[in-house]
Structure 1
Amino acid sequence: MSKLPAAVLAELLNIRFADASLEQLLAQYVRIAQSGVDGADEVSITLIRNNRPFTAGHSGDLALAADELQYERGYGPCVDAGVSGVELAIPDMRDEARWPDYAAAVAQEGVLSAVSLPLPVQTELLGALNLYSRKPEALGEETLAVAREVASHIAVAIGNAVSYQDSARLAEDMQAAMRSRAVIEQAKGAIMAQNRCSAEQAFEILRVASMGRNVKLRDLAKDIVERLPDTP
């Protein structure tokens, strides 16, 4: 029997796939997951293609920051859940021993508990639905039962997109998402060079600046990169 509240199920079933890009579809699922899963302050979807993880959808910059801190290290719950197919939960970041440096870093960002649920996508893509909370022990079993069903809907949507979208359009969608991350990496590199700081410190500078200016982190990163002098 479904654990989904009727309103959440109705929203999931009302998603229209026609003429929507994968990015647009995943943005709808992220919104539904954030509003429908109790305790999830922010939500993201990690996809992994050719061993390269990237965030294909996110509810806000906190979720993006939590993802990026893992990508920098090459490990963490969202990456490991996607690769292993195993659900990974962190009830309290302050007590986490499996990924201690990541947990300490993301706790400073304000994330105190998290769960990553693998997406059973039957394609070359791997992925995970990531739930982040600003409170410890915020994502209990009833919450996770709902999240698992949402994850299954997301997996079906991705599988359908891979199966039915023409290959050129799908490749364009994937490249767009990966380019967004590449722009963030370029912006971080510029900040590291200017401030002589680490990648993690550069990302924090970027995140704080995006909040202070009330612009999306990726938009700020793009602006920084566009202002860089051309290399001779």
Structure 2
Amino acid sequence: MQELWRDLSQVVLADRRLDDVLGEVTGIAARGVPGAESTSITLVRGDRAFTAAHTGEMALAADELQYERGYGPCMDAGRAGVVLRIDDMRTEQRWPDYTPRVLEVGVRSSLSMPLPYQGSAIGALNIYSTRPAAFSSRESEEAATTVAEAVAVLVANADAQDRLAEQARNMRLAMESRAVIEQAKGVLMAQRRLDAEAAFEVLREASQRYNRKLRDIASGIVQSASEGGPR
């Protein structure tokens, strides 16, 4: 476990895409979770589930078999926030139309750990093996829990950064829109000798009449004025 913690703590986050970071973490899980041969991370966004990263094609194939059906151990773990372990696919009864298919891609046992975030789950860490009961030890579940908690933090931080970036972009666009509208009002006030309120009313009416955004109407007026339009 100490080696696993060390490897996770050394993952570099700065200036990297989330999928690159998660790809490195799946490799750490494949090395650090006893019994693991192939690993993946399923993220759930609304009704959609997808593999954000994987190590080994067996994990990706097993995940996609579940996405085709809309359920399975990794999806159910990610949605319900529960640990789901399968010791032997040949005798597993909970997903009868999944287990025969996943045996064909080499999976004999699996462990799906939910990714906890603010009292809910945002996906699952999925660990697969070609051997039966590969994850029956307490050490396997403890190691998988450690990795899952780290993944949840990484995803939550990335989502928070995305939201901040989107808020900053929206604020910038709002400021740009306000600036061009104020410029257009100035043009109308000079051209038509209107006050600020009347100039804005002209813009608003044009926006409604032509079914265009107020900013686009204003931008057109400013551009026309800068190109030597009517004065």
Tell me the TM-score normalised to structure 1 length.
Answer: 0.68
**In structure 2, what is the Cα distance between the partners aligned to 1:120 and 1:65?**
24
1:151 is aligned to 148
1:190-225 deviations in Å (ceiling 9; x for gaps)? xxxxxxxxxxxxxxxxxxxxxxxxxxxxxxxxxxxx
AA partner of residue 148 (structure 1) = T
How many angstroms does 1:61 deviate by?
Answer: 1.2
1:195 is aligned to none
1:96-135 counterparts in 2 under 5 A?
Answer: 96-122=92-118, 126-135=122-131
Structure 2 residue ranges without an equivalent (≥5): 167-231
- Over 3 Å counting, the alpha-carbon distance change for 1:51 and 1:125 in structure 2 is farther
Radius of gyration: which is bigger?
2
Q: 4+ residue stretches of structure 1 with deviation over 3 A?
A: 122-125, 165-169
AA partner of residue 101 (structure 1) = D
2:67 corresponds to 1:71? yes
What is the percentage of aligned positions where both structures have the same residue? 48
- Over 3 Å counting, the alpha-carbon distance change for 1:167 and 1:72 in structure 2 is farther
**In structure 2, what is the Cα distance between the partners aligned to 1:167 and 1:58?**
27
Structure 1 residue ranges without an equivalent (≥5): 170-232
AA partner of residue 46 (structure 1) = T
Which deviates the most, 118-127 or 28-37?
A: 118-127
**In structure 1, what is the Cα distance between the partners aligned to 2:28 and 2:10?**
11
**In structure 2, what is the Cα distance between the partners aligned to 1:14 and 1:149?**
14
Q: Secondary structure of the residue that 2:134 maps to in structure 1?
A: coil
**In structure 2, what is the Cα distance between the partners aligned to 1:40 and 1:67?**
15
2:33 is aligned to 37
How many angstroms does 1:167 deviate by?
Answer: 5.7
AA partner of residue 88 (structure 1) = L
Instruction: Confirm or deny: 8 A CA contact 2:83 2:111 kept in the other structure.
Output: yes
How many angstroms does 1:16 deviate by?
Answer: 1.6
Q: How many residues align?
A: 165
Instruction: Confirm or deny: 8 A CA contact 1:121 1:158 kept in the other structure.
Output: no
How many angstroms does 1:121 deviate by?
Answer: 2.5
2:134 corresponds to 1:138? yes
AA partner of residue 106 (structure 1) = V
Alignment RMSD: 1.7
1:13 is aligned to 9
2:21 corresponds to 1:25? yes
